[in-house]
Structure 1
Amino acid sequence: MFADVRKIAGLAWPVLIGQLAIIAFGVIDTAMVGRYSAVDLAALGLGSSIYISVYIGLTGILTALQPITAQLYGARRYAEIGEEVRQALWLALALTVIGFLILYFPGRVLQLARVPEALHERTVAYLQILAFGLPAGLTFRVYSSITNAVGKPRLVMILQIGALLLKVPLNTWFIFGGFGMPALGGPGCALASTTINWGLAVVGMLLLTRVDVFKPFAIFAHFCWPVWRRQAAQLRLGIPMGLSYLIEVTSYTFMALFIARFGTTTLAGHQIAGNIGAVLYMTPLAIGIASSTLVAQALGAHRPEAARTLSRHGIMMAVAIAFCYGAIVLVLRPYVIEGYTPNAQVAAAAMPLVLIVVCYHLFDALQITTAFVLRAYKVAVVPTVIYAVALWGVGLGGGYLLGFNVTGFTPEWLTGARGFWVANTVSLAIAGIGLLLYWRGVSKRYLRAEAVVRVDSAA
């Protein structure tokens, strides 16, 4: 077990640092805009929820490149990797068109949220600026997928740390103004992020042509048009993966949209709790990505026993660390919230939500790690169904019933934002257990299939 944990940790820590650098974008945005104005903070929370839903849904499709590449890498079929990357870049171009239109024209989504007029203009400006950074974000996801698949996450981490170092000065300039730049408030965060995303995309593509580990793939050795057979293979895996990402994220996004009806203060408190949950989420996410890489490589090398063991140890590792994180947050939550906002009313709104985050995170760790392991097996359809039933049905549906006291029997402590967070926690528990049981069946089928192949080979 300890040998597997060391392997997973060796890949996970660069992913974790890189992901923390990126999630720090949101933390920095929240902290800095919170000191600009409460209205801009609420608009940031709403706008970022919409953007993340679009971005994660689209990049989730491109993430199919990671298990495909990892299995090819384990099988040493290097020439095919280059072709898969070229096809993924064409796919990213097509997805850019879809995402840009949604972000640049967000009126229908904002109508659903019944956004107050004070927030509408700031939220639209924020999303329209981010729309121009979406092509770069999708391109960089192709780079990070292939880099993680071949076990070189440090090449992503270095770029993400560099991006973080640029974020604070650019945010300061664009949010508060200076040197000829007017104070943009919340939309200034979007302008800083868009600028940085384009830098990441350009450098990432250059590294694919220069770094030795990528040279056997000959990614840019020649031009190619889209090949439907390979596009279809990526989409068969990528669409359910993207849908599962979208379901997971929209379960949070629609929480924000519904919670917006309770007022600016409640929405700002929800944004703080969401940021804390997102920071904690980065560790099981990193473990899931690392475990998925090792499992996919083992499957590509026809070692299903090793793949199953690595899967189990990765899941156990993520849940154990999540338990420790929860204990720390439980003790330190007043000080953590104080670091986000000096507003006493917003802090009071955030306090009970952060308490719920302690339990929420434990089940979040279970479900995300197990989901990544299943993706290494190129299994995505059934997990997507599990997500839909649990997160949309129980999480959003139950949250709506509790939060708005639809039945009239909801206790006072379960109404409002608290009802949404409690229902979402229950939904993550259902999703995590369901995915775990499904993984056990999938891994056993792989073991049986490999045993049959060995018997046939011996005969």
Structure 2
Amino acid sequence: MKSELPLILRHAVTVLAGQLAVMAYGVTDTIVAGRHSQEALAALSIGSAVFVSVYVALMGILQAILPIWAEQRGAGRDAAIGASVRQSLYLCAAASVLGMAVLLSPGPILEWTDVPPQLRGEVRAYLAVLAFGLPAALLFRIYSTLSQALGHPQLVTWLQVGALFIKLPLSVWLTFGGAGVPALGVVGCAWATLAVNYALLLLALGMLRRHGRYAPLQLWRRPEPPDRAQLLRFLRLGLPAGLAILVEVTSFTLMALFIARQGALAAAAHQIAANVAVVLYMVPLSLAIAASARVSFWRGSGDEARAARVAWQGFGLAALLGCTLGALLLVLRTPVAGLYSNSAEVVALTAGLLAWVSACHVADALQTFCIFVLRCYQITLAPLLIYGVLLWGMGLGGGYTLAYRGWDGQPPLASPAAFWGANGVALSVVALAFTALLWLVLRLRRRAAAREG
């Protein structure tokens, strides 16, 4: 039987190009804020940690619908996809209201994590702007998920790459000021992000209206009333998936808030290391999105054996890419750190943290791939529990203990390295657990399919 790897790779590279463009928005803000001032970079680190925690959790609920639409495509049910997309708008509206409420009232989060008082005002202003860009970002995520499920990720990537040419000059201009506009500092980066979110949404609506690939879905019919059964199905799949992503992301973003106690130098170095880690994460994420769409397609077509074969092919590729990228970062960690800052202190501390990033990237790649494929089989609760125990307990809790309380008679290690080391150990255990769970699920599904055949 012909390997699906070429198709998966082609789709993964296309998704990756779009994801890297989106990441370039964050890289742009990090570099711009770093060049503006160390305090601006620290405020960006904290503000982006809060925003990303909220956005990615809500995005995860919508992204988890991908297997449903891919299965419907495999079964040739185009009209059902259109009706399902219209129902997803109700879910998007509820998510937008919830997310905006959190972003407009971040005070309890900032107080709980002991963010320095001198940074809180700028962080609040940054989050207030991003709150009003959240609905557009979530609506664009529906468009993105639909296009990936249909096997046309290029229809998303074109827009994401094009928007980079809006984001980059706007961030520089609004942060530093010029042409009659005052310097807004880190809040300027937020305004640039808001403009990009609405530009992407308008372009996506134009694509849905005009591109022929979406015509069979009959998307532009009058929205049906909320379908309780359909929405409950979305929530059964999406809510645990969104919470799992929230745990995964907050295991990193809460690190930023706790590390902020160590001062602007530690916060700035952590922000750079986290940014590099997320850029690397885009590779296995793109592969996981592409592979899960194909796994669900073949499941919808009734070919469980081929679905399992695609899953293992993608797993092997994720392991290979994870090893390669981790090794490259280990060798290039100091030059990479130097791209973000001209401060010798920041570069030195960041280079040490990037060694930890490189060490745990293989585990991160494997666990990312596994959790996406497990969602194709409606396995979402077990990964959530594993994430909660290991990433929050062993990773975040272990890092906090090492950094601020000490361990086994050793004094506290007041360094971001304490958090990165503990997180690396936790990710390794998560990867082992998810691999075992995926092996078990695929084995049981193939046996069930053989009995039915």
Relative to the length of structure 1, the TM-score reads 0.96
Letter in 1 for 2:139: T
2: distance between equivalents of 1:175 and 1:52? 20
Q: 1:446: which partner in 2?
A: 445
For residues 235-254 of structure 1, the aligned pairs below 5 Å read 235-254=235-254
Tell me the equivalent position of 1:418.
417
**Paired amino acid for 2:313:** H
Report the CA distance between 1:410 and its aligned residue: 3.6
Structure 1 residues 362, 2: CA separation in 2 closer, same or farther (over 3 Å shift)?
farther
Inter-partner Cα distance in structure 2 for 1:225 and 1:207:
25
Instruction: Describe the superposition over 1:85-120 as per-residue Cα deviations: whole angstroms up to 9, x where unpaired.
Output: 001111101111100010011000000121112211
What is the CA–CA distance in structure 1 between the aligned matches of 2:398 and 2:406, rounded to whole Å?
Answer: 10
**Structure 1 counterpart of 2:432, which letter?**
I
Partner Cα separation in structure 1 for residue 185 and residue 251 of structure 2: 27
Name 1:311's counterpart in structure 2: 311
Q: How much is the aligned-residue C-alpha RMSD, in angstroms?
A: 1.3
User: Which residue in 2 is equivalent to 1:276?
Assistant: 276
Change (3 A) 1:46 1:2: farther
Aligned to 1:130: 130
- Offset, 1:222: 2.2
User: Which one-letter code corresponds to 1:431 in the other structure?
Assistant: V
Q: Tell me what 1:321 maps to.
A: 321
CA-CA distance at 1:357 after TM superposition:
0.6
Amino acid at match of 1:53: S
Q: Distance in 1 between matches of 2:144 and 2:121?
A: 34
Q: Which residue of 1 aligns with 2:341?
A: 341
Alpha-carbon distance in 2 for matches of 1:92, 1:198: 15
Aligned residue in 1 for 2:426? 427
Partner of 1:141: 141
Structural mapping, 1:285-304, within 5 Å: 285-304=285-304
Q: Which residue of 1 aligns with 2:367?
A: 367
1:422 CA drift (Å): 0.6
Contact 1:240/1:380 (<8 A) preserved: yes
Kept after mapping to 2: 8 A contact 1:175/1:186: yes
- Aligned partner of 2:447: which letter? R
Q: Helix, strand or coil: the match of 2:3?
A: helix
- Cα separation, partners in 2 of 1:24 and 1:410, compared to 1, 3 Å: farther
Partner of 2:205: 205
Corresponding residue number in structure 2 for 1:80 = 80
Match of 1:457 in 2: none
User: Are 1:264 and 2:264 matched, yes or no?
Assistant: yes
**What does residue 107 of structure 1 align with?**
107
Paired residue for 2:435? 436
Structure 2: which amino acid aligns with 1:27? Answer: V
Q: Distance in 2 between matches of 1:324 and 1:236?
A: 36
Q: Using the alignment, how far apart are the partners of 1:313 and 1:451 within structure 2?
A: 21
Q: Which amino acid in structure 2 is aligned with residue 339 of structure 1?
A: L
Give the Cα–Cα distance (whole angstroms) in 2 for the partners of residues 450 and 213 of structure 1. Answer: 32
* Cα distance in 1 between the residues matched to 2:89 and 2:433: 33
Asked if 1:397 is matched to 2:402, the reply is no
| Structure 1 residue 313 displacement after superposition | 1.2
TM-score by length of 2: 0.98
Which residue is 1:232 aligned to? Answer: 232
- Deviation by residue 1:321-348 (Cα, 9 ceiling, x = unmatched): 1111111111111111111000111112
> For the residues of structure 2 that align with 1:43 and 1:268, how far apart are their CA atoms?
9
Contact 1:404–1:416 (CA under 8 A) maintained in structure 2: no
Matched residue type, 1:442? V
CA deviation after TM superposition for structure 1 residue 2, in Å: 8.3
Residue 3 of structure 1 aligns to a residue in which SS?
A: coil
Q: Deviations over 1:367-386 (max 9, x none)?
A: 00111111122221111111
Bigger drift between 114-123 and 249-258 goes to 114-123
Q: Structure 1, residues 375-422: CA drift from partner, whole Å, max 9, x if none?
A: 12222111111111111111111111112134463477x552111001
Structure 1 window deviating more from structure 2 (105-114 vs 371-380): it is 371-380
Q: Distance in 1 between matches of 2:339 and 2:30?
A: 11
- 1:37 aligns with 37
Distance 2:423 2:56 in 1: 19
Q: Secondary structure of 1:439's partner?
A: helix
2:165 is paired with a residue whose SS is: helix
TM-superposed CA distance for 1:214, in Å, is: 1.2
- Are the equivalent residues in 2 in contact too, given 1:100–1:131 (CA < 8 A)? yes
Check conservation: 2:334, 2:348, Cα contact below 8 A: no
Residues 139-192 of structure 1 deviation map (CA, whole Å, 9 limit, x = unaligned): 001000010001100000000001111111111111011122110111111100
Q: Which runs of no fewer than 5 residues in structure 2 stay unpaired?
A: none
The amino acid of 1:416's aligned partner reads: S
Structure 1 position 211, deviation (Å): 1.4
Say which SS state the counterpart of residue 378 (structure 2) adopts: coil
Q: Deviations over 1:278-321 (max 9, x none)?
A: 11111111000011011010111111111111111111111211
Q: Is the 8 A contact 2:262 2:414 kept in 1?
A: no
SS of equivalent residue, structure 2 residue 36: coil
**1: CA distance between counterparts of 2:36 and 2:63?**
36
Deviation at 1:443, TM superposition (A): 1.1
Moved more, 110-119 or 135-144: 110-119
Aligned to 2:70: 70
Letter in structure 1 aligned against 2:124: V
Q: Aligned partner of 2:428: which letter? A: A
Q: How far apart, in 1, do the equivalents of 2:380 and 2:147 lie?
A: 21
Alpha-carbon distance in structure 2 between the residues aligned to 1:341 and 1:261: 21
Tell me how far apart the structure 2 counterparts of residues 411 and 443 of structure 1 sit (CA, whole Å): 46
1:189 and 1:2 map into 2 onto residues whose CA distance is 47
